[in-house]
Structures are given as C-alpha cells and as structure tokens.
Copies of this chain bind each other. A is one copy, B any other.
Amino acid sequence: MNEELQIVPAVLEEYGAVTRKALREYLTPKAPRRYLYDLINDYPSRGGRMLRPSLCLATARAYGAPLAYAIHAAVALELIHNAFLVHDDVEDESLERRGRPTLPAMHGVALSVNVGDALAVTALRALLDSRGVLGHRLAGRVVEETERMMRESIEGQAMDLGWRQDNLTGLDERDYLDMVFRKTCWYTTIYPSRVGALVGGRDSETLDGFVRYGFFLGAAFQIQDDLLNLLGDHDAYGKELSGDLWEGKRTLMVIELLRASEGEERQRVAAILARPRSARSRQDVAWLRRCMDEHGCIEYARSVAHAMAGAAIHEASKIYGGLAPSRDKEFLEALPRWVLARA
C-alpha cells in the first residue's frame, strides 16, 4: 500500500481500540446468557476494521470536538452495523461471516432474528447515555440522525432483497447506485460524517454536504467490497468467496452481465439467478464467473469504483479544505484512495 495511505490503518487501529473499549461496557454478559447475551457478543468479538466508528470519531475531532462527544454514536453505529450483519445473514441465508459460520448457521433463524433486535436496542441505550455529555437537545438530534440512517438502510435492503426475490433482470447502473446509496452509504459514510460534524457544532448546511461526499465514498467502498467478494483472498475476506453469486445478489457486475449478454446465454444467466440458493451448483457459480470475465464486467465495475473514488476526493477537498491541518484531516483525505487499495 502507498505510503501516504498508511495513515488509514494507523487511525483505524487507534480509534478502533477506543470504540472497542467503550463497546465492552454495553456487551457485558448477563442473564439470559445462553439464548441472548452470549450470542450478542459473537459478531462484535470477531473483529472487523471499525471503519464506521473511526470515521465518526475522526470527523468529530477534525471539527474540534473531543472524542467523548462522538464515542456514544460510534458505539451505537458499530452495534447497529452488527445488528444489520445478523439480520442480513438470516435474510441472505449466508454461511460464513468473518471467517466463521454465521449466527443463523449455528443457532437457527429464530434466536438470530432476536439477537439482531437486541443489538439495535443496545445501540439506542448508548445514544441515550450521550445525554450526559451532549445535553438533551443535541443528543436528540443524534438520535434523529440515527433514525434517518436506519430507515435509509432498511429501504436499500428491501430493494436488494426484493430484486433477488422477483429475479429482476432489467436493472441498470442507476438502480444499483440508488440501492447502494440507501443500503451502504447512509450508515457507512454519510451518517458517521454527519454526526461527527453535528457534535462538532456544525449547522445543517455543512451536514448536507456529507450526503454527496458520502455517496461517492460509500459507492466506491461497496463496489470494491463486491469485487473483493469475487476476487479476494478467502482468509483476508472472511466470507465464502463468490458468496454474492451463490446468493444471487444484484451487484454491479451481475447487472452488467445481464446487460451485456444476449440470447441463450442471457437466459441461462437469468435462470441460474432465479434459483433458490440451495439449487445453485458449483458449476453454475463458476460459469457465471467466467461469463463476467468474458464480458469485461469486472473491469467495468472497477472503472465505476474509480470514478466514484475520484468524485469523493474532489468533494473531500471542498469539505475539508478549510480545516486546520491534523492527523484526523489527513485520515479523512486519504480515505477515498484507501478504499480502492484495500485488499
């Protein structure tokens, strides 16, 4: 990795540790352990990059707020992220998460749905606790941001799930970006930035600027994530490779494959995608993967990801240009390039 991007893993490590420490307080096991609190601790204890809480903390600091102003939101965001992961794994019938069997694969759908609910409610508790440092009014504003972020994520998730369930085959890049804007960008980039600026005392005009910036950065992040799902190193990625193909997800590569293929080939692509997960074979998945190479779907998605990251760099220079130099500012400015460089 490029030397100037080294700031990113360094800051992720530092703020990740800060968040993990604060998180522990909300994940103390208590009764009923066996059916709830032991399970709640599972995903958060599997590690993860802590990108989202770190972005929130770094933005707050870059705008002059102490860490204490943003730590509850950072913890809540990480809890909500884990709540989403658990429900996603139920909804997608996924088998692996961060290198181990998913919660529903180990404990069944019923307990897992309930564990996801518990993680989300614990996030609300963390946000309520922020009233002590932020006061009632500002803490309420952060809860308001959280409500918006969760709503956007759920809307995007509905699109993603519904497209698969109905086996839509006529989607285009705009549909994809609209879905990713809601499903990924709001909670990965827009919310952490907005809340960081909010507790740093910025007005709603400044906050609105993060919607554009966060869209470009988040879309680059999601496309890169989908590419890693196809191309990555299994041990580093921690999920089953090509898992998205097994699950029939409408990634940008799948949408491009449906657009670029014709006749019998297109029919076969659509037929494979229409099957339930359990009826897709290893051969089906390998064949889809080869077709993507033949039609240049990977290269196409890579070029969109680069365009998005370029736009994010441009927006970042406008947003952060006026801020005093700091380690946090450096981190924020390096993020768009890091998103593409990560393996």
Contacts and interface: CB of A to CB of B under 8 A. Distances in A.
Interface residues of A, number: 42
Interface in A125-169: 125, 128, 131, 136-137, 139-140, 143-144, 146-147, 150-151, 154-155, 157-159, 161-162, 165
Interface stretch (A54-62, A109-117, A251-259, A306-314): A109-117
A170 interface: no
A32 interface: yes
Contact of A128 (B122, B144, B165): B144
B90 A113 contact: yes
B36 A108 contact: no
A287 interface: no
A288 interface: no
A35 B161 contact: yes
A140 B147 contact: no
Interface string A11-40: 000000000000000000000101110000
A87 interface: yes
Q: Main secondary structure on chain A at its contact with chain B?
A: helix
Contact of A140 (B109, B117, B140, B165): B140
Nearest to A39: B158
A298 interface: no
Contacts of A118: 151, 154-155, 158
A339 interface: no
Q: Interface centre among A32, A87, A90, A109, by most B CB within 10 Å?
A: A32
Contact of A136 (B87, B111, B117, B136): B136
Nearest to A35: B162
A118 B118 CA distance: 15
A300 to B, nearest CB: 26
A153 to B, nearest CB: 9
A124 interface: yes
A226 B32 CA distance: 23
B162 A117 contact: no
Nearest to A121: B150
B117 A91 contact: no
A73 interface: no
Contacts of A146: 124
A136 B113 CA distance: 32
19 contacts: A34-B162, A35-B159, A35-B161, A36-B162, A87-B114, A90-B113, A91-B109, A91-B110, A91-B111, A113-B113, A113-B116, A114-B157, A114-B161, A117-B150, A118-B154, A121-B147, A122-B151, A124-B147, A125-B151
Given A90-B113, A113-B113, A139-B140, 12 more contacts: A32-B162, A36-B158, A36-B162, A117-B150, A118-B155, A121-B151, A121-B154, A122-B151, A124-B124, A124-B147, A125-B147, A140-B140
